[in-house]
Structure 1
Amino acid sequence: MLRINHPTSLQENKRRREHVDMMYISIETAIALASVVGNVLVVLAVCVNRALRNTTFCFIVSLAVADIAVGVLVIPLAIIISLEFNTQFYTCLFLSCLLLIITQSSILSLLAIAIDRYLRVKIPTRYNTIVTQRRAYVAVFLCWILSFLTGLVPMTGWNNRNAQGNLSSSSDIVCEFTTVMRMDYMVYFNFFGWVVVPLSVMIALYGEIFRVIRRQLNRRAEATCDGDRYYRKELKLAKSLALVVFLFAVCWLPIHIMNCISFFCPKCSIPKFAMYVGIFMSHVNSALNPMVYAYRINGFRNYYIFPSTCILLFSIDAS
């Protein structure tokens, strides 16, 4: 029996789709604003507060810059790609690669922070001679270079161009991430190689950091000295930074797990709503880090309170 779509039902479906798109764009825009404002405050806090100008916070600034890029670049690109606009294959592929570059820079910055914290508690007497400000800048530079190199791998040929058939260089496609990006690259190279391995290393490093700190504090339990204060301060900061790593894993693993399901089980269908939630969670992560710093690190908390107080007093005077 031939089924005819009624014009009214088509209009309702179109309105529903437009409503969903508007909700998606609104939520993404709110996440982008929160990410940019919060992480700009992080960068400014490090620049203004001399107590925060050390090697660890150099890596935190690198992470904040990556999170700012998420709000300024990644989320707008995700919105554009979700609207399914027509463009050339390699243009869509390059835009998709930019999303990977920013993600990679975040995880490499987190790995650099973990290594820095490990060296600080493992070799405290030699730390300042080994981890200098100049070497920290070099490490940040290498993190970003490596992020670009790994993120742009699909541009060298590991992509879905062959799956598009006889596609000429001038032909347009509907730009979607899964249309241009191969899932074996996303699963084996991006997820297993550049997410699981760094996260595993970070978990091992923070486990060792907490073990060393607890051992040192137990040794100094009956003594009150600078060493005791030093390790208690390191313990508090290590807990805060480990929380940042934990939030990164919680926010990013769902979308990667769904990619694995799509790759290893092609017949399994993943609801579009679940994919949207996974994308939202990966973007929300960029807005969470400044909140962790504000609530757990005094230098950031004091800096955040001061601008907020000034804005409140200004609004009271204006009224």
Structure 2
Amino acid sequence: METLEGSELCFPQLLNTSCRKPVRPHFETMLIYILLSSISLLTVVLNLLVIISISHFKQLHTPTNLILLSLAVSDFFVGFVMCFQIIHLDGCWFLGDLMCALGQYLAYIITSASVGTMVLISVDRFVAICHPLHYSTEITEKRVQVCVCLCWVCSVIFQSLILKDILEKTGRYISCVGECIIVVNYIAGLVDLIFSFIVPITVIVVLYMRVFVVAVSQARAMRLHIAAVTLQKSVKVTAKKSEMKAARTLGVVVVVFLICLCPYYCVALTGQDNLLNASSATFVICLSYFNSCLNPLIYVLFYPWFRKTIRLIVTFKIMQSDSREAKML
């Protein structure tokens, strides 16, 4: 009987202080392991392809793609953060209190940077569709690079302040050995909720509603005058179509992002995210991570240049000396 009890403990040698493993059917456990491991691997591989594509090919060095590169980097790290969830699936944490806190800290930074990047995407599309004449002068590569860097730096600083107490006192709320749990201060959690979700999501929704209204009116105007345009004007029309197509594609990215992230913050609004290892929060956390796997799949469906770069990467044609100059658009 003692042996049976010991086998249910995370650390059988610590009978009085060890956490107990939750009882789960073997088939269910293996299915979850395989599913999450596959999603984690796919997330890392697909986003690595996006990073290589935009970084390698010079023609893809556009302001919009630089923002997508930032999003791909955050999604790439999400694939690694998922490993922490996979390790903790059996209910036992073997990497120590410090790694538990660092894992949560990294997850917070990535989420914050992703939300900030979505705001940048919305601003980029707002200027491109609503103020097209000012786009080339207002949205430059250098300005986008500065904004992306600020987004990441601010995410690191902001989350360091939010999780300062947790990082300084790791394992403070651990009730048994083998548990990975953090408790976020109420005020800190409220500040994070406001500045990492409510404010940026409001900005995103307002900007994209404006983009949608303008895009619809422009599409209607083009349909009315398409037969009467000259060759010179038709080039402008094609450019407008390209911008609106990009707006639709990035709109899909933003909508999917909101669908995957909103449930987590809805849980936060009810006060259930204070215990991040609670079973009620497991699904919404995994859903927010799954969004990082979906983004590259959206690019595959909507961006011909991404499908082309994938072929060049997997066939090792990017190793050729002149591959950087290849035409992708």
Would you call these one fold, judging by a TM-score over 0.5? yes
* Contact 2:260-2:288 within 8 A present in 1 as well: yes
Does the CA contact (< 8 Å) of 2:193 and 2:268 recur in 1? no
Aligned match of 1:190: 192
**In structure 1, what is the equivalent of residue 295 of structure 2?**
289
Q: Deviations over 1:140-160 (max 9, x none)?
A: 100100111122223433789
- My pick for the range that moved more, 244-253 or 46-55, is 46-55
Match of 1:238 in 2: 247
Task: Give the conservation status (yes or no) of the 8 Å contact 1:114–1:202.
Answer: yes
- Find out whether 1:79 has 2:82 as its counterpart: no
Q: Is 2:267–2:273's contact at 8 Å kept on the other side of the alignment?
A: no
Structure 1 pair 79–207 and aligned structure 2 pair: CA distance change class (3 A)? same
**Residue 275 (str. 1) matches residue 281 (str. 2):** yes
Amino acid at match of 2:46: G
Question: Which residue of structure 2 lines up, in the alignment, with residue 203 of structure 1?
Answer: 205
Answer yes or no: is 1:249 the counterpart of 2:253.
Answer: no
Matches within 5 A, 1:114-153: 114-153=122-161
- Shift, 1:247, TM fit: 0.9
Does 1:94 find its partner at 2:98?
Answer: no
- Relative to structure 1, the CA distance from residue 264 to residue 55 in structure 2 (aligned partners, 3 Å threshold; closer, same or farther) is closer
Preserved contact between residue 264 and residue 288 of structure 2 (Cα < 8 Å): yes
SS at match of 1:16: coil
Separation in structure 2 between the aligned mates of residue 158 and residue 279 of structure 1, nearest angstrom: 19
What letter matches 2:180 in structure 1? E
Task: Write out per-residue CA displacement over residues 211-253 of structure 1, whole angstroms, 9 at most, x where no aligned residue.
Answer: 2233333334314322321221111111111111111111122
| Identity of matched residues, % | 24
Deviation at 1:40, TM superposition (A): 1.1
Deviation at 1:295, TM superposition (A): 0.4
Structure 2: gaps spanning 5 or more residues? 9-20, 317-329
CA distance in 1, matches of 2:47, 2:204: 22
Q: CA contact under 8 A between 2:98 and 2:171: conserved in structure 1? A: no
**Which secondary structure state, in structure 2, belongs to the residue aligned with residue 181 of structure 1?**
coil
Q: Quick check: 2:46–2:293 contact (8 Å CA) kept in 1?
A: yes
Q: Name the Cα RMSD after superposition.
A: 3.6
Q: How far is 1:6 from its partner? A: 11
1:105 corresponds to: 113
Contact 1:89 1:180 (C-alpha < 8 Å) held by counterparts: no
The DSSP-based 3-state class of the residue aligned with 2:92 is coil
Distance 1:258 1:284, change over 3 A: same
Give aligned pairs, total.
294
Q: Deviations over 1:191-223 (max 9, x none)?
A: 333112212211111111122233333334314
Residues 1:60 and 2:68 are matched in the alignment: yes
Q: Which runs of 5+ in 1 are unaligned?
A: 312-319
Deviations 1:276-295 (A, max 9, x none): 32222111111100010110
Map 1:158-173 to 2 at 5 A: 164=172
CA distance in 2, matches of 1:6, 1:117: 62
Deviation at 1:111, TM superposition (A): 0.8
State whether residues 59 and 109 of structure 1, in contact with CA within 8 Å, keep that contact through their aligned partners in structure 2.
yes
Q: Which of 43, 51, 76 in structure 2 is aligned with 1:43? A: 51
Q: How far off is 1:90 after superposition? A: 5.6
Does the CA-based 8 Å contact 2:37-2:86 persist in structure 1? no
TM-score norm. by structure 2 comes to: 0.76
